[in-house]
Chains A and B, each alone.
Chain A
């Protein structure tokens, strides 16, 4: 082999790999027949829904499958050497030296009781024959390389002393210290905020170029794939169903599953009036239910023919470098796709929204919710210490018109959830006024009138904890009916069935326990429970962020349906800006307990922007590799709400300060004024509107 060939040979070559887990019920094949190549200085993205075997593939490469997992077939070649069948000690050496991994949660990858420097230097002293001092110096260099501010000092800190984004940077630095040929990243940004995610994704892009590393990048987020990957493999139910370059996968998807995924995610800028989300019917089959001699996607495919159910398609080269595991990829044209009857209800189709006069139903004036925090001094022990407050919601004024949806966005810790909790009465406000349907909202829920409680309900984020595991679905939907007395005693059962029907679950779910339900189904039950008392206002706290994209589409459609049917008003909290744009009529942007911009959704997503909104928008990963996105990155982290910055809360990170005289000296001293772009659209900023209007739009798609 000539050196030229070696240079172009793939770093990693996976061929027909199959991985099984031993369980009490026999072997379960989690991954089968997976083939792909990863080249030098290129990122291969593995994308798919949860339970499709993405992580199993990643762990399989380094045979890190745990006691009950094993590779049962195929070959995995790393730099031309076969990895399958190697001894544990050889693999362990390889894992630290040539192949590195970065996991989802940086806190679990770092040892909390050792300083970061010790952990970084250890990587070098163990795998390379170098002294501790030199290892220390090299580690500092690597931290600087991943743009860690104050690198030399960070070496002496412990993991809990730096932020989540910085922790992930340390983990990436650790992975790169030995200059590995292959880097495996398993959802490295899923636990991070969008603004931090954007910085980490940029970093990954830079490192790939500078270090010539091959990267396997595992994620469920199509937007992230579009941003960082060169090649993409789409996984479904343990099989690779489509492999190709990122432009081809997004521009000309061949497999019906990939096409289905694309229809599930809202594009940034699409709205519920202009477009519809189409969920994929059915659900991912459990490993034991996967057919061996048939197309695995056939039961959910709109194009499935007889052949698909009798014969298993191979990964076939339809175009150069673009493979699809489908018999009919040449014949399928996604642009002529028609949704099958019943997939989406008539109501969910665009243009069916009832037009109502915009009477505000909820009015909030200068609302403040603080959490007390005792200082740790001795004085506070005897009650004389300084009282500190976490200003979770500080001086917020907004209103929601009847039948409309207000989306609330912002980084984690900016007070979105506290705002919802205050409205619903789980927290008591410290100041300000809130009025809803003539009721005063400043009392806690235990002191509220039952008529107010009926009209104000909440949908929660985590499908696994939204239902009480001890009671059946029917009991839990029936409880608000019984407790709030909305229907007569004898009609409760009937009403529960009607509600189940409304969330597209059939009567057999009445007697099921939560553990027999999938995440999406649990979330539907949570929605049915919230809507049981036919409330006027429903607060949704990240109702879809823990769900897979196809389930997310179904749940969003369901919420839209119910809203259109009952003219319910909603507050929709989410961190996914595309979903918020799709779902909301109005959007409020929060930062550090403050509202910084509020207005109709289309105004928020186009200039004039509040600088924070602009930064958020430019950080969102967009599932479209051809879209042009402005490159604005925020540095540092959200300051502590215990001790918020004076003046404008955003002044410590604002990238637009230089537009003001004295580099924005006024931002530190004075609170900015509310500037009205239109009657409904207002911006909290010192920069004059004329200047803000001149900003370019953040996203331009070609």
Chain B
């Protein structure tokens, strides 16, 4: 009795609780200064996006014709645009669409932002195609990869514009566009990882127990490819934000008057030389900082996880 109690105690000491295990996983971020800086930038944008209604007295579409194209002031910390809308409010509400909510219709929205949903959708389809190509091989591989090659032959921005022009500008369509543009790259990455992992003995073992190919692909192979896939996905969220900015700038983003960083830059652009650069400057900085933050975070994590191997 005592002996068994001792054993459990010993096990408790040897086997760290799930909390410490979680902490070990998270603490990898703090090992790398680069990743930490990136994380802080990203967390800043996520926080302001979530709490946007609490951080500003204005709504993003509220117009004030007495204060147009103003610089930073006490009433408007980042100034106002040509229609007298508060830039800070528009920025943080704009961040919501990018990072924390996906509006499906007037009254219904999903958590997580447009960029993230786009990458997730691309991940699901791209990983499946990559796994199939890499594991099943043969003609499936040939067909899938040739189609994806053809997609990759298009310049990315052209592909975005073709898709949006075809299906119209809305948040869900931007998600679709991000996903479709991301699929070839994700599929190639997953395929190359699969080609390596499928030679391991544990895949042979699964095959000798007669597991079906889908079980092997999604349960045996995919979890072991997760590291590179997660890092790649983070970088992709950055590219997606960049792409959303570009689309908005070209007038293919969220329909006005919703706050969209890209269209804010486009609108503010004409006033730069007339002495009020603020309306273009702040959203540009927002896009740049968020993309740089995500890149730093992903790069830092990659370096750190490689060091652990």
Is A484's CB within 8 Å of the partner chain B?
yes
Given known contacts A468-B220, A508-B14, A511-B15, A529 and B208 CB-to-CB distance under 8 angstroms: no
Is A426's CB within 8 Å of the partner chain B?
yes
Q: Contacting B208 at CB < 8 Å: which of A450, A457, A470? A: A457
Task: Please indicate the chain B residues that have their CB under 8 angstroms from the CB of A469 in the complex.
Answer: 224
Q: Contacting A508 at CB < 8 Å: which of B15, B202, B208, B213? A: B15
Q: Which of A87-95, A360-368, A458-466 contacts B (4 or more CB under 8 A)?
A: A458-466
Bound-state Cα–Cα, A60 to B211, Å = 49
Establish whether residues B209 and A484, one from each chain, have CB atoms under 8 Å apart when the complex forms. Answer: yes
Task: Please indicate the chain B residues that have their CB under 8 angstroms from the CB of A511 in the complex.
Answer: 15
CB distance from B61 to the nearest CB of A (A): 48
Bound-state Cα–Cα, A622 to B46, Å = 68
Establish whether residues A426 and B210, one from each chain, have CB atoms under 8 Å apart when the complex forms. Answer: no
CB distance from B211 to the nearest CB of A (A): 7
Establish whether residues B210 and A465, one from each chain, have CB atoms under 8 Å apart when the complex forms. Answer: no
Establish whether residues A529 and B14, one from each chain, have CB atoms under 8 Å apart when the complex forms. Answer: no
Task: Please indicate the chain A residues that have their CB under 8 angstroms from the CB of B201 in the complex.
Answer: 460-462, 465-466, 526
Establish whether residues B205 and A529, one from each chain, have CB atoms under 8 Å apart when the complex forms. Answer: yes
Q: Which of B187-235 contact A (CB under 8 A)?
A: 200-202, 204-205, 207-213, 220, 223-224
Is A664's CB within 8 Å of the partner chain B?
no
Bound-state Cα–Cα, A448 to B209, Å = 10
Q: Which of B59-112 contact A (CB under 8 A)?
A: none
Is A666's CB within 8 Å of the partner chain B?
no
Given known contacts A465-B200, A469-B224, A470-B223, A445 and B207 CB-to-CB distance under 8 angstroms: yes
Bound-state Cα–Cα, A470 to B224, Å = 6
Bound-state Cα–Cα, A424 to B209, Å = 9
Is A480's CB within 8 Å of the partner chain B?
yes
Given known contacts A461-B201, A508-B11, A508-B14, A426 and B224 CB-to-CB distance under 8 angstroms: no
Q: Contacting B209 at CB < 8 Å: which of A467, A471, A479? A: A479
Is A446's CB within 8 Å of the partner chain B?
yes
CB distance from B190 to the nearest CB of A (A): 15
Is A301's CB within 8 Å of the partner chain B?
no
Task: Please indicate the chain B residues that have their CB under 8 angstroms from the CB of A467 in the complex.
Answer: 202
Interface mask (A434-458 → B, CB under 8 Å = 1, otherwise 0): 0000000000011010100100111
Residue of B nearest to A479 (CB): B209
Given known contacts A483-B210, A483-B211, A468 and B202 CB-to-CB distance under 8 angstroms: yes
Establish whether residues B204 and A460, one from each chain, have CB atoms under 8 Å apart when the complex forms. Answer: yes
Bound-state Cα–Cα, A528 to B205, Å = 12
Q: Which of A479-511 contact B (CB under 8 A)?
A: 479-480, 483-484, 508, 511
Residue of A nearest to B308 (CB): A24
Task: Please indicate the chain B residues that have their CB under 8 angstroms from the CB of A508 in the complex.
Answer: 11, 14-15
Establish whether residues A426 and B205, one from each chain, have CB atoms under 8 Å apart when the complex forms. Answer: no
Bound-state Cα–Cα, A49 to B212, Å = 40
Q: Which of B24-42 contact A (CB under 8 A)?
A: none
Residue of B nearest to A533 (CB): B209
Establish whether residues A453 and B210, one from each chain, have CB atoms under 8 Å apart when the complex forms. Answer: yes
Residue of B nearest to A460 (CB): B201
Is A593's CB within 8 Å of the partner chain B?
no
CB distance from B135 to the nearest CB of A (A): 13
Is A474's CB within 8 Å of the partner chain B?
no
Bound-state Cα–Cα, A466 to B205, Å = 8
Establish whether residues A448 and B224, one from each chain, have CB atoms under 8 Å apart when the complex forms. Answer: no
Bound-state Cα–Cα, A533 to B209, Å = 10
Bound-state Cα–Cα, A508 to B7, Å = 10
Given known contacts A460-B201, A468-B202, A468-B220, A453 and B11 CB-to-CB distance under 8 angstroms: no
Bound-state Cα–Cα, A465 to B202, Å = 6
Bound-state Cα–Cα, A533 to B210, Å = 13
Task: Please indicate the chain A residues that have their CB under 8 angstroms from the CB of B208 in the complex.
Answer: 424-426, 445, 453, 456-458
CB distance from B30 to the nearest CB of A (A): 14
Bound-state Cα–Cα, A420 to B201, Å = 14
Bound-state Cα–Cα, A260 to B11, Å = 31
CB distance from A107 to the nearest CB of B (A): 19
Task: Count residues of B near A (Cβ-Cβ below 8 Å).
Answer: 18
Residue of B nearest to A453 (CB): B210
Q: Which of A523-560 contact B (CB under 8 A)?
A: 526, 529-530, 533
CB distance from B199 to the nearest CB of A (A): 8
CB distance from A513 to the nearest CB of B (A): 10
Bound-state Cα–Cα, A446 to B207, Å = 8
CB distance from B99 to the nearest CB of A (A): 29
Task: Please indicate the chain A residues that have their CB under 8 angstroms from the CB of B211 in the complex.
Answer: 483
Residue of B nearest to A448 (CB): B210
Interface mask (B148-169 → A, CB under 8 Å = 1, otherwise 0): 0000000000000000000000
Task: Please indicate the chain A residues that have their CB under 8 angstroms from the CB of B224 in the complex.
Answer: 468-470
Task: Please indicate the chain B residues that have their CB under 8 angstroms from the CB of A445 in the complex.
Answer: 207-208, 210
Most A C-beta atoms less than 10 A away, residue of B201, B220, B223: B201
CB distance from B15 to the nearest CB of A (A): 7
Bound-state Cα–Cα, A456 to B207, Å = 12
Task: Please indicate the chain A residues that have their CB under 8 angstroms from the CB of B207 in the complex.
Answer: 426, 445
Bound-state Cα–Cα, A283 to B211, Å = 36
Establish whether residues B205 and A460, one from each chain, have CB atoms under 8 Å apart when the complex forms. Answer: yes
Residue of B nearest to A530 (CB): B205
Task: Please indicate the chain A residues that have their CB under 8 angstroms from the CB of B202 in the complex.
Answer: 465-468, 476
Task: Please indicate the chain A residues that have their CB under 8 angstroms from the CB of B14 in the complex.
Answer: 508
Bound-state Cα–Cα, A354 to B124, Å = 54
Residue of A nearest to B307 (CB): A24
Establish whether residues A480 and B200, one from each chain, have CB atoms under 8 Å apart when the complex forms. Answer: no
Task: Please indicate the chain A residues that have their CB under 8 angstroms from the CB of B204 in the complex.
Answer: 426, 458, 460
Interface mask (A377-396 → B, CB under 8 Å = 1, otherwise 0): 00000000000000000000
Establish whether residues B209 and A483, one from each chain, have CB atoms under 8 Å apart when the complex forms. Answer: yes
Bound-state Cα–Cα, A381 to B267, Å = 56
CB distance from B153 to the nearest CB of A (A): 22
Residue of B nearest to A484 (CB): B209
Bound-state Cα–Cα, A426 to B210, Å = 10
Most A C-beta atoms less than 10 A away, residue of B14, B208, B212: B208
Most A C-beta atoms less than 10 A away, residue of B15, B205, B212: B205
Bound-state Cα–Cα, A597 to B205, Å = 30
CB distance from B10 to the nearest CB of A (A): 9
Bound-state Cα–Cα, A433 to B197, Å = 32
Residue of A nearest to B209 (CB): A480
Interface mask (A156-175 → B, CB under 8 Å = 1, otherwise 0): 00000000000000000000
Q: Which of B217-255 contact A (CB under 8 A)?
A: 220, 223-224
Residue of B nearest to A463 (CB): B201
Residue of B nearest to A461 (CB): B201
Task: Please indicate the chain B residues that have their CB under 8 angstroms from the CB of A529 in the complex.
Answer: 205
Task: Please indicate the chain B residues that have their CB under 8 angstroms from the CB of A426 in the complex.
Answer: 204, 207-208
CB distance from A280 to the nearest CB of B (A): 24
Bound-state Cα–Cα, A457 to B14, Å = 34
Most B C-beta atoms less than 10 A away, residue of A457, A465, A468, A470: A468
Bound-state Cα–Cα, A342 to B220, Å = 37
Establish whether residues B205 and A458, one from each chain, have CB atoms under 8 Å apart when the complex forms. Answer: yes
Task: Please indicate the chain B residues that have their CB under 8 angstroms from the CB of A484 in the complex.
Answer: 209-210
Interface mask (B247-288 → A, CB under 8 Å = 1, otherwise 0): 000000000000000000000000000000000000000000
Bound-state Cα–Cα, A448 to B212, Å = 12
Known: A446-B212, A465-B200, A469-B224. 15 other contacts (CB 8 A): A424-B208, A456-B208, A457-B208, A458-B205, A458-B208, A460-B201, A460-B204, A461-B201, A466-B201, A467-B202, A468-B223, A468-B224, A470-B223, A483-B211, A511-B15
- 21 CB-based A-B contacts, threshold 8 Å: A445-B207, A448-B210, A450-B210, A456-B208, A457-B208, A457-B209, A458-B204, A460-B204, A460-B205, A461-B201, A462-B201, A465-B201, A466-B201, A470-B224, A480-B209, A483-B211, A484-B209, A508-B14, A526-B205, A529-B205, A533-B209
A residues engaging B (CB < 8 A)? Answer: 424-426, 445-446, 448, 450, 453, 456-458, 460-462, 465-471, 476, 479-480, 483-484, 508, 511, 526, 529-530, 533
B residues engaging A (CB < 8 A)? Answer: 11, 14-15, 200-202, 204-205, 207-213, 220, 223-224
Top 8 A-B pairs, shortest CB-CB distance: A460-B201, A470-B223, A465-B200, A453-B210, A468-B202, A465-B201, A466-B201, A458-B208
